[in-house]
Amino acid sequence: MSGEQRGPRRVRRQLRPTSASTVPDAAMLQRIADTLMDPRRPRPTTGSDAHHGDGPDALIVDGRQVGMVRAVRRSRLLEADRVVLADGTTLVWKRLTGPLRAETATLTALHTAAAPGPAIAAVAGPRTGRGALAVPAVVATAHESLADGLLLQDLRPAPLPLPSDAWPRTVHAIHTTPAPAWLPVLDAAHLASLPARALAHLDALRADGVGRWPDSDRIAADLAYLRSLGQHRSSGAATAPYGLCHTRLDPSALFPTADGTVYVLGWAWASRGPGLLDLLGCLPLGGDSNSTAFDAHDEVLDAYLAVGGDRAAEDDRGGLPATRWAAGWHRVIQAERLLHIVAGWLDEPDDADAQHEVGVLLHEAVQCLR
């Protein structure tokens, strides 16, 4: 990465275990996490594809090779590596910066609540019963001034197809899990403030001397309209289900395994908020005519109630059916967060993809909330 201090030349060689095949203890796993977090360590890089790494690098801890590290994904705010230890254990290492750092505390709290006890015991498999929220085991954490690191259970091999009832059951498991008290609150007042916050991010991008996001008048107009109706349409946010809320839940965040466990990934944006955002928010719409899409949303809502979801999930809020309310506010939330990331954390010469995505999200939000 540009501007980053170069460390010693990377070592690439075959892994040769130096001792008997034993699972590392918690202290050793912490040393591994601290080593991976060290800014002086040369981090493996990916090839031209940002999601697939090239050759592995040796993992050296206290002067001894204990495994190999292969880059899996690289972005401005996230680095993900796969770690293969000498005994064959595989782990995932995530280095998080900016707003993604919030995942460290949230995932640690959720894993501790689901699987109390020594972290390494959870590496081999799930420790939750059917119906309970399953998250990857947190093996160790590490910190520096501008980033956090998570050493996690590796859920390999690839995820299985999602069972037909997995979506409502998993969302119900989230809703029945106590939310850590320190999570940010996503209530009606916060929802109503989002269009104005997004406008402030947009103004920063379009300011004199910055000149990003040209031809974004439609985005500004949609945000102004959403701001005008925000206070009314945000009412009912505290209607059940309300509590632990992933807020970015979609099928890619679910990882089904062979034993029937469905793990929930990606907790950086968790909050205490309306559970309907997780159940219905990411479901697709049908363009300017959404009646057929909302019929499908109603079916998902029915499936959620069938597995024990709170009956109040059916209630109107903000003067709208629950399905329209959830779809609209989910899109406002995602648009504001994307604007926040682009304006505050990225410095890209061409933001066309992000600008297009925000435009689509806001157009759909207007269709739902008007």
User: What domains can you pick out in the chain, each with its CATH number?
Assistant: 26-153 (3.30.200), 166-369 (3.90.1200.10)
Q: What pLDDT is recorded for position 173?
A: 97
pTM of the model: 0.87
Q: What pLDDT is recorded for position 48?
A: 39
Indicate the residue type of 232.
H
Q: What pLDDT is recorded for position 340?
A: 96
Q: What pLDDT is recorded for position 14?
A: 42
Q: What pLDDT is recorded for position 209?
A: 72
DSSP symbols for 260-313: S-EEE---TT-EEEETHHHHHTTS---TT--HHHHHHHHHHHHHHHHTT--GGG
Give the DSSP H/E element, type plus range, for residue 199: helix 188-206
Q: What pLDDT is recorded for position 115?
A: 57
Phi and psi at residue 255, to the nearest 5°: -125, 95
Residue pair 135/114 in contact (Cβ under 8 Å)? The answer is yes
Collapse the DSSP code of 107 into the 3-class scheme (helix H, G, I; strand E, B; otherwise coil) and give the result: helix
Buried b (16+ CB within 10 A) or exposed e, 128-137: beeeebbbbb
End-to-end CA distance of the chain: 44
In tens digits, the chain (370 residues) has pLDDT values of: 334 333 434 434 343 333 334 457 899 999 999 999 998 877 766 543 444 445 689 999 999 999 999 999 999 899 999 999 999 999 999 999 999 999 999 999 999 887 544 444 445 454 445 579 999 999 999 999 999 999 999 998 889 999 989 999 999 999 999 999 999 999 999 999 999 999 999 999 998 777 899 899 999 999 999 999 999 999 999 999 999 999 999 999 999 999 999 999 999 999 999 999 999 999 988 765 567 888 899 999 999 999 999 999 999 999 999 999 999 999 999 999 999 999 999 877 668 899 999 999 999 999 999 9
Count CA atoms closer than 13 A to 142's CA, side-chain side: 19
CA 227 → CA 21, 44, 48, 114, distances in Å? 60, 44, 41, 39
DSSP state of 96: E
Structure tokens at 240: 């059940």
Q: What pLDDT is recorded for position 232?
A: 97
Residue pair 334/326 in contact (Cβ under 8 Å)? The answer is no
